[in-house]
């Protein structure tokens, strides 16, 4: 039985082209083939062309709207250059995390007691002039590894030393006067507040943000309201607030009354109000997280429009910088955002005021050194001592090309010698190891000179959690400071040689009796607790 001939079906019936006029037989000639291909293109091309035009138009619209949104939001923000008004400042810690390649960031947030647009009183004069009051002060510290954040509330009724005249750069905290905290803002705006804070704590403030009452209300409304919790019913005439006991979802105006009320709730002090403010901030974080704010461009824009419209910042904190900061903390868990109330006691000359306790220094020390609060832990990256570790940043400098000297700043004998051996076995050129200055530090810090950052990252990889810091006074040799609680060394991927690391024989743990615990509220905590 023969195969069917070309152009015929298996029964000998000619195959017909349904698209051919009159149902004629299919034309298998080259001309016919080109005709069919052309005919298919004429059917497909208009649809494809319209789709491409549609996609292109959509991209143009998105791009234009994105640029317009950026320009609008950036234009909303008022900016003040206070650089020349800050006088002598502490040296910024600027330790860079070896994995994120980011330094820690400290932001001073000031709530301005401006009643403009809130029907709560007369508006203030020109921003920063006499008459403006600082209602709430928060110091926000973002860790260099971006795994945790500390938010410290400073009571407005605190009595502290302050520069006598913030307009005079020679006036400092050391030769200053005793003054109520929120008077600093009244007398000299954010510059005077930051000068006082830096002089008291030695913490360098990278950015500042001032938000007024009007902006606070609009931000809450843009979120769709925020849930608050009060143990007792509130009926406060001064703040125009009426709430039942328990949980309530409040709008912007109610939220403003809730965070400000103090005469009819609790002990009536500013300290009690701070507790409510911190619970409120926890609720805001929870609300923004569960409502998927970032997935709703319309809601996100309303929120950002409200926030930026009532915001005054330093000249460096533009929308681009804000975006970078926001992206860097996206993976931070809400359980690692800690709200801290500054420890205080009664100020004896005036029982209506408070003064900071010496234990407040442990908070400032944690921020200065970019360490966890005493008594708390932050997530650590998993490491292995049995196999080479990996880091987020590639190690581009071979150990044999790196010269180091190791100092022991832990107070525990033998730590520098042990670290030097761990480095030498992996190929590093150890110039010397020696005892430090006597001032105890914590963790491992690698200092590097100009052009040596990549080399510093290779050294830091040996000690998980180590920080790196630029030091323009150094030359080609890097300095490795070994402090208390320094981690054991691990093998790095580009090590030289195969000899295994020796088992650690020296540990430098901090004394638990010397470490107090600082009470902190986490952002994921029940708002009624």
- Do the beta carbons of residue 191 and residue 163 sit within 8 Å? no
Burial state string for 294-312 with b = 16 or more CB within 10 A and e = fewer than 16 = eeeeebbebbbbbbbbbbb
Handedness of CA 300, 303, 309, 313 (dihedral sign): negative
Q: Is the pLDDT of residue 422 over 60?
A: yes
- pLDDT band per the 50, 70, 90 thresholds, residue 119: very low
Q: What is the pLDDT of residue 59?
A: 63
What does the DSSP assignment read for 414-425? THHHHHHHHHHH
Angle at 462 between CA 457 and CA 468, to 5 degrees: 35
Domains delineated in the chain:
78-224+291-378 (3.40.630.190), 399-514 (no CATH)
Q: Grade residue 379 by pLDDT with cuts at 50, 70 and 90.
A: low
The per-residue pLDDT for range 223-277, each reduced to its tens digit, is 888 899 988 888 888 778 899 999 999 998 898 888 877 766 665 567 777 888 8
What pLDDT score was predicted for residue 130?
Answer: 42
Distance CA(305)–CA(494), nearest Å, equals 48
Summary mean pLDDT of the chain: 79
Place of tokens 């525990």: 412
For residue 22, the model assigns a pLDDT of 41
The CA distances from residue 140 to 107, 151, 337, 451, in Å, are: 5, 5, 10, 31
Instruction: Render pLDDT for 52-77 as a digit per residue (tens, 0 to 9).
Output: 666 666 666 555 555 666 677 777 78
pTM, full prediction: 0.73
The better pLDDT of the pair 115, 255 is held by: 255
Please report where in the chains the tokens 């630029």 appear, as a residue. Answer: 470
pLDDT at 41 over 90: no
Of the chain, the percentage scoring pLDDT greater than 90 comes to: 35
Tokens 């409120």 correspond to what residue?
Answer: 280
pLDDT-derived band at 171 (thresholds 50, 70, 90) equals very high
Using a 10 angstrom Cβ sphere, with 0-12 exposed, 13-18 middle and 19 or more buried, the burial of residue 41 is exposed
Residue 468 predicted with pLDDT over 70: yes
Q: In degrees rounded to 5, what are phi and psi of residue 438?
A: 110, -20
* Mean pLDDT of the 418-442 span: 90
Q: Which two tokens stand for residue 357?
A: 């306790």
In degrees to the nearest 10, what's the CA dihedral of 62, 67, 68, 73? 120
Q: Are 243 and 210 in contact (CB under 8 A)?
A: no
Could you tell me the CA-to-CA distances from 202 to 90, 303, 500, 520 in Å, in that order? Answer: 6, 34, 42, 22
Distance between CA atoms of residues 287 and 169, nearest Å: 43
Look at the alpha carbons of 155, 157, 162, 164 in this order and tell me if their dihedral is positive or negative: positive
Structure tokens at 128: 């920063």
User: What's the pLDDT at 266?
Assistant: 61
Residue with token string 């902190």: 520
pLDDT score for 76: 79
pLDDT surpasses 90 at 4: no
As given in the structure block, the two tokens for residue 100 are: 């994120």
Alpha-carbon distance of 411 to 440, in angstroms, equals: 6
Burial zone of 391 (CB within 10 Å; 0-12 exposed, 13-18 middle, 19+ buried): middle
Instruction: Supply the pLDDT for residue 300.
Output: 72
Report the pLDDT averaged over residues 319-340: 86
pLDDT at position 402 is 97
pLDDT of residue 436: 78
270's CB contacts (< 8 A; 6+ apart) are: 155, 156, 157, 262, 354
| Residue located via tokens 């009926």 | 235
CA distances to 224, 228, 252, 413, 424 from 249, rounded to whole Å, are 9, 6, 10, 58, 61
């Amino acid at each position: 039985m023969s195969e069917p001939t070309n152009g015929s079906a298996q029964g000998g019936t000619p195959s017909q082209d349904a698209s051919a006029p009159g149902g004629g037989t299919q034309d298998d000639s080259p001309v016919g083939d080109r005709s069919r291909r052309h005919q298919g293109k004429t059917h497909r091309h208009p649809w494809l062309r319209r789709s491409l035009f549609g996609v292109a138009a959509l991209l143009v619209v998105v791009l234009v709207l994105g640029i317009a949104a950026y320009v609008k939001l950036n234009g909303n923000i008022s900016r003040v250059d206070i650089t020349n008004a800050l006088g002598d400042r502490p040296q910024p810690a600027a330790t860079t995390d070896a994995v994120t390649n980011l330094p820690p960031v400290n932001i001073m947030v000031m709530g301005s007691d401006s009643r403009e647009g809130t029907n709560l009183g007369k508006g203030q004069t020109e921003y920063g002039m006499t008459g403006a009051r600082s209602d709430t002060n928060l110091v926000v510290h973002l860790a260099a590894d971006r795994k945790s954040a500390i938010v410290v509330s400073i009571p407005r009724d605190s009595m502290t030393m302050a520069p006598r005249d913030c307009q005079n750069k020679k006036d400092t905290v050391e030769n200053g006067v005793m003054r109520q905290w929120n008077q600093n803002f009244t007398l000299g705006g954010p510059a005077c507040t930051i000068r006082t804070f830096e002089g008291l704590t030695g913490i360098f403030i990278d950015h500042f943000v001032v938000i007024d009452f009007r902006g606070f209300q609009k931000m809450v409304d843009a979120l769709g309201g925020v849930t608050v919790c009060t143990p007792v019913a509130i009926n406060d005439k001064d703040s125009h607030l009426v709430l039942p006991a328990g949980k309530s979802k409040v709008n912007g105006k109610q939220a403003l009354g809730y965070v400000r009320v103090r005469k009819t709730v609790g002990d009536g002090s500013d300290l009690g109000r701070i507790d409510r403010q911190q619970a409120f901030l926890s609720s805001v974080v929870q609300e923004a997280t569960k409502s998927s704010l970032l997935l709703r461009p319309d809601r996100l824009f309303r929120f950002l429009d409200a926030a930026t419209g009532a915001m005054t910042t330093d000249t460096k904190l533009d929308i681009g910088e804000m975006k970078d900061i926001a992206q860097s903390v996206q993976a931070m868990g809400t359980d690692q955002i800690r709200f801290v109330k500054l420890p205080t006691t009664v100020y004896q000359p005036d029982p209506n005021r408070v003064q900071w306790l010496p234990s407040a220094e442990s908070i400032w020390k944690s921020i200065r050194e970019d360490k966890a609060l005493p008594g708390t832990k932050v997530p650590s990256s998993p490491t292995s001592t049995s196999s080479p570790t990996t880091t987020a940043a590639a190690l581009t400098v071979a150990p044999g090309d790196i010269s180091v000297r190791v100092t022991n700043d832990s107070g525990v004998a033998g730590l520098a010698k042990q670290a030097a051996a761990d480095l030498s076995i992996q190929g590093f050129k150890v110039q010397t190891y020696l005892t430090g200055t006597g001032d105890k530090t914590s963790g491992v810090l690698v200092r590097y000179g100009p052009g040596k950052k990549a080399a510093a990252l290779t050294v830091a990889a040996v000690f998980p959690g180590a920080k790196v810091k630029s030091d323009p006074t150094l030359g080609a040799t890097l300095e490795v400071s070994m402090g208390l609680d320094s981690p054991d060394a691990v093998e790095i991927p580009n090590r030289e040689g195969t000899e295994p690391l020796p088992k650690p024989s020296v540990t430098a743990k901090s004394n638990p009796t010397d470490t107090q615990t600082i009470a902190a509220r986490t952002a994921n905590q029940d708002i009624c607790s």
